[in-house]
Amino acid sequence: MNTIKELQHKIAELFDTRNYMSNPKELYEPIQYSLSQGGKRLRPLLSFMSCALYGGDLNEVKNAAIGLEIFHNFTLLHDDIMDESPLRRGMPSVYQKWDSNTAILSGDTMFVVAYEYVTETKPEYLIDTLRVFNQTAREVCEGQQYDMNFETQGYTTIEDYMEMIRLKTAVLIAAALKIGAIAAGAPKVEHQRIYDFGILIGLAFQLRDDFLDAFGNEETFGKPIGNDIVTDKKTYLYLKAYQLADTDTKTALDKAFALENKKEKIAKVLAIYDTLNILQITEAKINELYLEAKKLLKEVERPEDEKTEVYSFLMKLVKREV
Amino acid sequence: MNTIKELQHKIAELFDTRNYMSNPKELYEPIQYSLSQGGKRLRPLLSFMSCALYGGDLNEVKNAAIGLEIFHNFTLLHDDIMDESPLRRGMPSVYQKWDSNTAILSGDTMFVVAYEYVTETKPEYLIDTLRVFNQTAREVCEGQQYDMNFETQGYTTIEDYMEMIRLKTAVLIAAALKIGAIAAGAPKVEHQRIYDFGILIGLAFQLRDDFLDAFGNEETFGKPIGNDIVTDKKTYLYLKAYQLADTDTKTALDKAFALENKKEKIAKVLAIYDTLNILQITEAKINELYLEAKKLLKEVERPEDEKTEVYSFLMKLVKREV
């Protein structure tokens, strides 16, 4: 099996050799800008890993994997408008660099380009691949809607939150893995198994994101720490804190979140999180998901030594070192 | 062959029996709202007509035809944001009734739903259908971008304008016809012939729209007359007028378009159009496209009596009576 490094190299090559420019340039320049920024390219990597794990030919999954990555980038263009995010990967987001209309229309075009790649899947795997892709795309939209709903509604349960991040984040990771299994001609039971595995990994991945936003290292995380606290984002940490807090602590939390001074607000909220053991509780939840995922991976009907690379990558992913 | 009325009835049934509601309701309510407004449903009708013309089974084109109509409605949701159009089919547009974010995300979801329908095309016709659909979707985005470019740039040639309406309007009409031919298992040469026919019809259809906006009857047109003049829209009429005008008439046109009073502006511009024979010239251009289209339809390798319904519908369409 290829090492992760080799797969990452192949994917970088796939994207770096592609040019998305065409006419009208006002439409395609933002697409070129978005897709040449790189990013982790986690989703195509997962498709390649899964295809390799099931002994498939990487050429069979290549186009669908590119399609997934372009789809992911399309959602970022539109999400950044809706969430009013000025930055993406440390650069001005498309809606900020150009305007909302540009981000809408270039985003729509990226969505089509994603489908163009998926359409070039081998005919015998095309329908299965398209169905996964369609379902995932729809669920990602639903997840984004739930996320926006949560920010305006008074109370959100942890259960609702987990469902939201399943839709917004985990299904795309799961789909990336499933598409690899389909392209490798793996049996149907394995499609579902690797998908379920992906859901657990996706949830852990998002909780780690929540965790790092509060307890991470600004340099390795790549974003300012405490941003979720500053913007009152209803993360796992936030919801867990309110769930565990007694009446006095709830009042203290409300007061802390109402603070105007950003630095003071972050410090105060983190201090309360500390008294409630939010760090340990979140880490335990991530670990629980990780162990469940590991168990599913054990059930995958492939030789154990073929799974070694996946295990080691999984560890890194859940620890967010990739 | 089914009469147009019978086909229209079948299509109305297809849409009226469908419910697009799901959760979260904030995402699906605007979709239900948009798709239950009706409209002409011209595109699925053309798919049905073409499938019937080539002796196909309408069930084979049904899903792709629904997909095309949903795609068309998705583009309206996003276009209405970009063009700041408060009304659509006499009702508040989605971005106006809800907000831009809703129109973006519900629109994206409609795009996925469109692909879900297209995916349910018979496997042997799936790739061809998807390729038409993808290419068309991309070109419609390009057309919208050119349209926006034209509104901000100083000068647009009639040639550029015709290319813009080809992309923005005609390709979807052509694609609807082509998809019908594919689903009927017609020979490849016919796919291209009916597509080229559709482009001519689509161009004529859009020029008729430009024409009616200036010279139409408010009641049958369904929109206030003169809106393109009020908004300085660079239509075929506008561009032709500037192309034909001598220096003095150009100055008069500039002055007329600069008028603040809407009624006066419309009257003044129409008076200049009259001196330049814009009505007759536009009608002649539409007729030229119509005759070219008729010639192509004659070449279609089907019995002439099977084409009668198409001819009569074509007449109505180019006269904008449907």
| pLDDT tens digits along B215-240 | 988 777 777 889 999 999 999 999 99
In this prediction the pTM is: 0.95
User: What whole-number distance in Å separates Cα of residue B226 and Cα of residue B257?
Assistant: 12
> Residue A195: its pLDDT value, please?
97
Q: Which residue of chain A has the CA closest to B23?
A: A142
> Residue A1: its pLDDT value, please?
61
> Residue A321: its pLDDT value, please?
61
* Partner-chain residue, chosen from B82, B126, B142, that has the shortest CB–CB distance to A101: B82
Res B3 pLDDT > 90? no
> Residue B90: its pLDDT value, please?
85
> Residue B1: its pLDDT value, please?
61
> Residue B51: its pLDDT value, please?
96
Residue whose token pair is 């799936």? B126
C-beta of residue A210 within 8 angstroms of C-beta of residue A283: no
Please count the other Cβ atoms lying within 10 Å of the Cβ belonging to residue A59: 10
Q: Does residue A84 sit at the B interface (CB-CB below 8 Å)?
A: no
- Return the CA Rg of chain B: 20
Q: Residues B151-172, buried b or exposed e (16+ Cβ, 10 A)? A: eeeeebeeeebbebbbbbbbbb
The ipTM estimated for the assembled molecules is: 0.94
Which pLDDT band holds residue B154 (cuts at 50, 70, 90)? Answer: confident
| Cross-chain residue pair A24–B149, CB shorter than 8 Å | yes
User: What whole-number distance in Å separates Cα of residue B183 and Cα of residue A45?
Assistant: 37
Can you tell me the mean pLDDT for B39-67? 95
> Residue A106: its pLDDT value, please?
98
> Residue A322: its pLDDT value, please?
54
Measure A119 CA to nearest chain B CA, in Å. Answer: 7
Res B321 pLDDT > 70? no
Per DSSP, the three-state class of A86 is: coil
Which pLDDT band holds residue B312 (cuts at 50, 70, 90)? Answer: confident
Those residues of chain A that have pLDDT short of 70 are 1, 320-322
* Partner-chain residue, chosen from A105, A119, A138, that has the shortest CB–CB distance to B134: A119
| Cross-chain residue pair B138–A112, CB shorter than 8 Å | yes
Q: How many residues comprise chain A?
A: 322
Please count the other Cβ atoms lying within 10 Å of the Cβ belonging to residue A13: 10
- C-alpha angle A99/B232/A94, rounded to 5°? 10
> Residue A317: its pLDDT value, please?
83
Would strands A91-92 and A87-88 be described as parallel, antiparallel, or unpaired? antiparallel
C-beta of residue B307 within 8 angstroms of C-beta of residue B300: yes
Which pLDDT band holds residue B17 (cuts at 50, 70, 90)? Answer: confident
Q: Does residue A160 sit at the B interface (CB-CB below 8 Å)?
A: no
Would strands B91-92 and A91-92 be described as parallel, antiparallel, or unpaired? unpaired
User: What whole-number distance in Å separates Cα of residue B111 and Cα of residue B119?
Assistant: 12
Measure A154 CA to nearest chain B CA, in Å. Answer: 16
Res B279 pLDDT > 80? yes
Res B98 pLDDT > 90? yes
Return left, alpha or beta for A232; rule: phi > 0 is left, psi -120 to 50 is alpha, else beta.
Answer: left
State pLDDT tens for residues B120-132. Answer: 999 999 999 999 9
